[in-house]
Amino acid sequence: MKETSYKAEDITVLKDLQAVRKRPSMYIGDVGVRGLHHLVYEVVDNSIDEALTGNCNWIKVIVHKEGISIEDNGRGIPVDVHPDEKKPAVEVVLTILHAGGKFDHKTYQVSGGLHGVGVSVVNALSEYLIVEVRRDGKVYRQKFERGRKASELEIIGEDEKTGTKITFLPDKEIFDSTNFDFEILVSRLRELAFLNKNVKIELIDERTGSEKSFFYEGGLSSFVKYLNKGKEVLHDIVYFSTKKDSLEIEIAFQYNDSYRESVFSFCNTINTVEGGTHESGFKSAVTRAFNDYAKKNKESVKLSGEDVREGLTAIISLKIPDPQFEGQTKTKLGNSEIKGIVDSIVYEKLNNFMEENPKIAKIVVGKAINALKAREAARKARELIRRKGVLSSGSLPGKLVDCQEKDPGKSELYLVEGDSAAGTGVSARDKKIQAILPLRGKILNVEKSRLSKIFKSEEIIKLITVLGCSIGDEFDISKLRYHKIVILTDADSDGNHISCLLLTFFYRYMPELIQNGYIYVAQPPLFKVIKNKKSIYVRDEKSLKKLLDEIGVDKIVTQRFKGLGEMDSDELEETVMNKEKRILKQVTIEDAVKADEMFSVLMGDQVEPRREFIQAHAKEVKNLDI
């Protein structure tokens, strides 16, 4: 490991800690599941930043029955007195917003945490936080409560090892729930292990005894292999890395025989879900290189980016000193100079690869040409449909019961399973703002279909027409007719399957709707409990048991709904349509990698990965309709 200076004077203070507790969502996005886990990521990212300097190769995360701890073998946060603040540097880092060693590029050349909210916000939003630092042969400890110092920094032992351990308990006064989700943590920590091939990351859940360990010598190549599990690949994984001045880029990619592209980009280990200049540079280089190669080989075609990325699985990992992220959640890279640099590097590397591997190049270019032909077939199918007047905004499907409101920002569209439930929904809705579109049965599984086949599906064409924003290269989100699209299906296995098919369609062909927060899944109740002439609706058996424990089982009537069709308009209005009482689950692409993997496993062609998933999770099933 590299030895570099890291003392109190390296800690830069920008300004005092603000009232984070009063407006927590400004700093962590929300106070739900996402915000809760964001606390963990902020602490883990600090350990990863130590790894990026070459001073850490081990991180352990332990979920306790109450709270969580993150430990690393980095250099340890400095404990000497800060020259300006006149207090230990570790206390400065934990109590002052934007205080750290990441602002001058001396201590950290690159950092994923630079634009994060910092560990001081984790401290502010915790009932308590305990920091232990091992450095200079000693073990230091200090405790904080709700962001305020609860004890002085003290020496509690001796140890020649170095590192930092932070243990905290999220504040129940702040968060909707303080229950950490093991699978969410697994997903992010696995991702970090892929991106940092020299780092071992351990995860232990003391609540259940579950343990996971992540260490991938192959780095990004292992990441691509993981994503392509269960798919028919067309060649070995291609990997290259290069440095240019202070920029470092790693790329791994591999084509498979599917019709989907899975391109994921990262900057300083931050998952840039919305892409950015590094991803744009990569995509433009791939398109240019493929077209040049096709031209050299006498192929008179003009391939689009969509054509050349069909079946492509790629990971782009960029490390730069001054990333400019757009938005507090750091989901898009904005550095304008990066696009040209990445484009140049990728174009040169890809050209060399295709010249040195003509057999692979021929296979992949051939697949892109087939995609072009399929795209042309889809265009013709679209034109045929348009000539029939189906896709024009003036000819909405007859089964749509539209709302009176014309402002998309105030309009809601309910996608309802079956005509019967849709009829009840029409009676239950607020006709001013709520539209109803009944869907017949299960729509086409688009995971296994090209766009040309999708245009032959009546139910999907009906859906595209109603939404108004088109699809593919004609997609225009500004023409979307509803900014709240609610999937409403029965609370059983068939209903869940229909929801999954719809979500697959939106994720694969209209991801912008999810990214903009327009897609929701209604949470219809499975049970109705009546006591003292008062009706209480509950979503599942777990909630029912909890309710019965609270109100008792004497003089109650419990009704189980087999489907939406069994609910009358008053029940449907009260539970899923009334804006004051309903529960809607907003769909996000917070973890695009996990989403892509799940859609491929559950909806793809390969049976074996689906069987493995079912076998692994069978014991977790609480309700199975047969």
One of 10, 91, 343, 490 is an active-site residue; which one?
490
One of 49, 50, 71, 417 is an active-site residue; which one?
417
CA 57 from centroid of its chain's CA atoms: 26
CB neighbour list of residue 330: distance below 8 Å, 6 or more residues apart = 115, 116, 270, 272
Q: Which two tokens stand for residue 218?
A: 């192959």
**9 given a catalytic annotation:** no
CA 562 from centroid of its chain's CA atoms: 32
The CB density around residue 452, as the number of other CB atoms within 10 Å, is 17
Which of 114, 124, 93 has its CA nearest to residue 18?
A: 124
Alpha-carbon span 138 to 53, nearest angstrom: 22
Which of 215, 222, 262, 214 has its CA nearest to residue 239?
A: 222
Q: Could you tell me how many residues make up the chain?
A: 626
One of 492, 540, 566, 605 is an active-site residue; which one?
492
Alpha-carbon distances, residue 180 vs 39, 172, 176, 550 (angstroms)? 11, 13, 12, 25
Alpha-carbon span 399 to 419, nearest angstrom: 9
Torsion of CA 406, 408, 410, 415, to 10 degrees: 100
**494 given a catalytic annotation:** yes
Residue 417 DSSP SS3: strand
Which of 313, 319, 276 has its CA nearest to residue 109?
A: 319
User: What is the chain's percent helix, strand, coil content, to nearest 5?
Assistant: 40, 20, 40
Alpha-carbon span 373 to 396, nearest angstrom: 30
Alpha-carbon span 473 to 138, nearest angstrom: 61
Burial class (CB in 10 A: 0-12, 13-18, 19+), 559: middle
Residues 213-222, buried b or exposed e (16+ Cβ, 10 A)?
A: ebebeebbbb
One of 430, 494, 574, 605 is an active-site residue; which one?
494
Residues taking part in catalysis: 417, 490, 492, 494
